Amino acid sequence: MDVNAPFRFDEWRPLQLAAAEGDDEAVRGLLAAGARVGAISTSRCRPCHAALHVAARYGQVSVVRILVIEAGADVNLRDSHGFTPLLYAVVGGHPATVNELLGHGADDTARALAIARAKGLDAIATALDTGGTHNHHKLRRWLQTIGCEAYLGTMAQQQQSLSSEAMHLFRIRRTVLKMLKKRSYIVDPVALEMDASAFQEQFGDKPKRGDQTILAEHETDPDDQIFVFLPEEDKVGVKTIKSYCDLMQEAHVTHAILVVKQGITPFAKTALQEMSPFTMEHFRDNELLVDITEHKLVPTHQPLSPDDKAALLKRYKLKEAQLPRIQRTDPVARYFGLKTGDVVKIIRPSETAGRYVTYRVCL
């Protein structure tokens, strides 16, 4: 299923619908599955929106925060009519959303202020006129005047929690550890259960990506070890790949996972394919912000051991080629590190039988 394909009888994509509904879990799941945060709808008769326009229009503050902070959405992106998310938040009369967008650098304040005054939205106009100040005391007074006292508690909690950059790394590290555990690698239970405050205590207020390197050993094979690297560069090049390979060679480790901010250069991709005997998988940050296997729409996947695979084929008198297929590029296949020929057991809920079991072979 293409998560970026618009619905058949609508112009919206799944990410835009989840943004309109304010479903944080669905938004994160779709982003992790590869949904493009800047994808625009294709209507011929309506303004063509991205997910951030939709979230702002319906006042979904938490979704706005996810799209901007976690997925890097352009806060000043204009739709097909030239409208920004800030304008939609103003027109919708959503002061908390307006303030959230201003806090992330929304700069279409002149037009937004004109609209706010024309609609008599004095509280929003005041916020826009002061430039969306970040001053805590001024913001507290403004929230009180518009009847959003409940939002003050959320602000206090956010100030006491991690910064957005630190929370970003915390969530990635947590997902990586879960992924290693589900691949049958030995993971420290303390690290696996670490909360945000413990992460801050161990790595500080401004954690470095280089400090998040992980080395894990397989539960049944001590010689099967894996590194996890988080390079600092936005786009990783050949030089960084070679430095990691040197480290792997010294540690006698041939398998690694690379977690990159944006991607890797074309030359680095070529290097990854030619650096035998080393195997290096790579994920983007936004693919590991959530554990996709825990999403309610993703059925249970259980990779089979070689012995279990052989028993399955013998039991049903099948050849490997007769099994349904799963691509190596499938998000769940990548999560489990499936290789060509691996078989995964998939368990889905069934209204009639209770559960429905199928098997797929990785190509």
Q: Is the pLDDT of residue 52 over 80?
A: yes
Q: What global pTM score does this model have?
A: 0.59
CB-based contact 33:3 (threshold 8 Å):
yes
Q: If you classify domain 299-362 with CATH, what class do you get? A: alpha beta
Q: Is the pLDDT of residue 149 over 50?
A: no
Greatest mean pLDDT range, 80-89, 93-102, 110-119? 93-102
Q: How confident is the model at residue 148 (pLDDT cuts 50, 70, 90)?
A: very low
CATH number belonging to domain 14-160: 1.25.40.20
Q: Is the pLDDT of residue 72 over 60?
A: yes
CATH of 164-292, one of 3.40.1340.10, 3.40.50.2000, 3.40.50.300, 3.30.1950.10: 3.40.1340.10
Q: Is the pLDDT of residue 63 over 60?
A: yes
Amino acid 357: pLDDT:
94
All structural domains of the chain with their residue ranges: 14-160, 164-292, 299-362
Q: 206 in the Ramachandran plot: left (φ > 0), alpha (ψ -120 to 50) or beta?
A: beta
pLDDT one-digit tens code per residue, 194-248? 988 889 888 988 899 999 999 999 999 989 999 999 999 999 999 999 999 999 9
Q: Is the pLDDT of residue 82 over 60?
A: yes
Distance, CA of 331 to CA of 1 (rounded, Å): 11
CB-based contact 243:236 (threshold 8 Å):
no
Amino acid 115: pLDDT:
67
Distance, CA of 204 to CA of 295 (rounded, Å): 30
Cα dist from 39 to 52, 69, 92, 253, whole Å: 10, 17, 22, 40
Amino acid 142: pLDDT:
41
